[in-house]
Structure 1
Amino acid sequence: MRAIWKGAVSFGLVSVPVKLYSATESHDVSFRQVHAKDGGRIRYQRICSLDGEEVPYADIAKGYETEDGEMVILSDDDLRELPVTASREIAVEKFVPSEQIDPLMFEKSYYLEPEATGAKPYALLRQALQESDRVAVVTVALRQRTAPAVLRVRETEAGDVIVLQTLMWPDEIRTPDFSVEVGEVKEAEVTMARMLVETLAGDFDPSELEDDYAEAVEALVKAKIEGGEVQRTETSTKSAGEVVDLLAALQQSVEAAKQARGEKAG
């Protein structure tokens, strides 16, 4: 894997230099639109919907369409004024019970690997998350935009690692515009439903999941290649500083958190 981002996790006065790796990859089957006669790829022109003329890249701008259909053109100067950040810090805001995070909010997942100087505080944070059964709510800047995220621990064959999962913003979660109305449910029906659940009960094993569609496409393509049904075309072809005294930094962080809540330090 190749690191896509480098920075540091900070909680209190403790800083953990880390590397970020994509934790998932899509293997969705994708097809290209081609000319059935010779396999040539289909190209699309950039045509203006108003005058019907082809538009060169130099004349293409970004536009924001309002709810009433008006188009607001944004210049490069406008875009430069938007708030962006290049921060390399993953700042822990709080530690919350893991069950309080709705899985619907999870967006993308990344593995965090500590730099050599951050191995010990990384292990400390990992153990603290495991023993408390909590996740760390953080903010992180990816692609110059700040996003909410959580840190949690995932067990893997290579060992336990901290995972960063970005979250959807609250207003991106849609509310269903329908309700389910049912009549009276009989106790016998409930009992039968429970029996069905118990009959199909088991443990989740990801290895049992198979992508039949992808396998079928691969088999079909392989058969066509072996049968000679192939069109040959020209297109075939060092971060935040290390905290020296980790214990002292943790103690100071706890005292500061207590004082922030109005509690007596000691």
Structure 2
Amino acid sequence: MHTVWKGAISFGLVHVPVKMYTATEDKDIHFRSLHKDCGMPISYAKTCRHCDKEIELDEIVKGFEYEKDRFVIMKEEELEGIKDEAAKTIKILDFVDLHDIDPLYFQKTYYLSPDLAGAGAYSLLLEAIKQTGKIGIAKISIRSKSSLAAIRAVDNCICMETMFFPDEIRSLSQVPNLPTETVVNEKELGMAKALVEQLSEKFEPNKYTDEYRLALTALIEQKIAGESVDIMKTPAAAGRSNVVDLMAALQASLDATKPLPETSPPIRKRKSTSKKKDHVS
């Protein structure tokens, strides 16, 4: 794994040197843009529409557009000057319960490993988090981006989830067509809850796969091998019906997900092994 950040976790006066690694990876299949006539990749040059010429990297500066086509230029030394002095520290501010955090806040996951002689302090924090069941809420700066973060234990590793600040999350009032109040039919609600119960399982992440990526990989391999490719529509999901009535749809869903009754083998009639006694009058 490639180290993306190096610093320390601090809680109280305890200092835990750590290295950070990205916990997830991009599995998307990326395409290059090619010239249709010759099949070669197209390059994208950085050009200035005012000077009508290609711009070199050392000629580029950062600017903020405060009005249409009006910019204020920011120098690198100015940006460096306003950075937090503790930019290399994950400072835990509070400890909270995980269920108090809405998943809406979570952004990206990282693994943290002990660095240098920090194994003892690392193990101490790891075990304290495990045994209290708490989550640390911290501040961190990665690549000039300041974030909130949640520090938690995953098995024998301290894991960090970057989080959005509250003002980065849009208000629900901006979402169109939300109901002002929920009015439901009690019978339909009962059937919906029964369907939820029937579909409830223990979360097993390994049973979920990206079918599109697998199909796209197979298609690419076919084309590399020079095989002919038939273009066809994906078949409709099995069991899908055109039921419009909500009650009928709920009932059909319940019937489709109902577990099959266990069938037991037929009971064979045992033959009597005792001899029939003679009747004495």
* TM-score strictly above 0.5: yes
- TM-score bucket of the superposed structures, by smaller chain: 0.7 to 0.9
- The residue type paired with residue 128 of structure 1 is A
Q: What is the TM-score when the length of structure 1 is the normalising length? A: 0.74
**Structure-2 separation of matches of 1:183 and 1:8:** 48
The answer for the alignment partner of 2:273 in structure 1 is none
Contact 1:85–1:145 (CA<8 Å) still a contact in 2? no
The answer for the alignment partner of 1:200 in structure 2 is 199
- The residue type paired with residue 29 of structure 2 is V
Q: 1:167 aligns with which of 163, 170, 174?
A: 163
Q: For residue 136 of structure 1, report the CA deviation from its aligned partner.
A: 0.8
**Structure-1 separation of matches of 2:8 and 2:93:** 14
Q: For residue 82 of structure 1, report the CA deviation from its aligned partner.
A: 3.5
Q: What is the CA deviation profile of residues 91-148 of structure 1, one whole-angstrom value per residue up to 9, with x for unaligned ones?
A: 2212112122221111221111123633333222222212222101122232245432
Contact 1:84–1:145 (CA<8 Å) still a contact in 2? no
The gaps in structure 1 that reach 5 residues or longer are 230-266
Q: For residue 68 of structure 1, report the CA deviation from its aligned partner.
A: 5.7
- The residue type paired with residue 35 of structure 2 is H
SS in 2 for 1:120: helix
The answer for the alignment partner of 1:261 in structure 2 is none
**Bigger radius of gyration, 1 or 2?**
2
Q: What is the CA deviation profile of residues 29-71 of structure 1, one whole-angstrom value per residue up to 9, with x for unaligned ones?
A: 1111101232201122333344644444343322212266633
**Structure-2 separation of matches of 1:2 and 1:77:** 28
Contact 1:85–1:146 (CA<8 Å) still a contact in 2? no
Larger deviation, residues 53-62 vs 185-194: 53-62
- Aligned Cα root-mean-square deviation (Å): 2.5
- The residue type paired with residue 122 of structure 1 is Y
1:213 to 1:51, Cα distance in 2 relative to 1, 3 A: same
**Structure-1 separation of matches of 2:116 and 2:55:** 51
Q: How does 1:97-136 map to 2 (within 5 A)?
A: 97-115=97-115, 117-136=117-136
Greater RCO, CA 8 A, separation 6+: 1
- The residue type paired with residue 226 of structure 2 is G
1:11 to 1:75, Cα distance in 2 relative to 1, 3 A: closer
**Structure-2 separation of matches of 1:87 and 1:183:** 46
The answer for the alignment partner of 1:23 in structure 2 is 23
Q: How does 1:216-227 map to 2 (within 5 A)?
A: 216-227=215-226
The gaps in structure 2 that reach 5 residues or longer are 229-281
The answer for the alignment partner of 1:187 in structure 2 is 186
Q: What is the TM-score when the length of structure 2 is the normalising length? A: 0.71
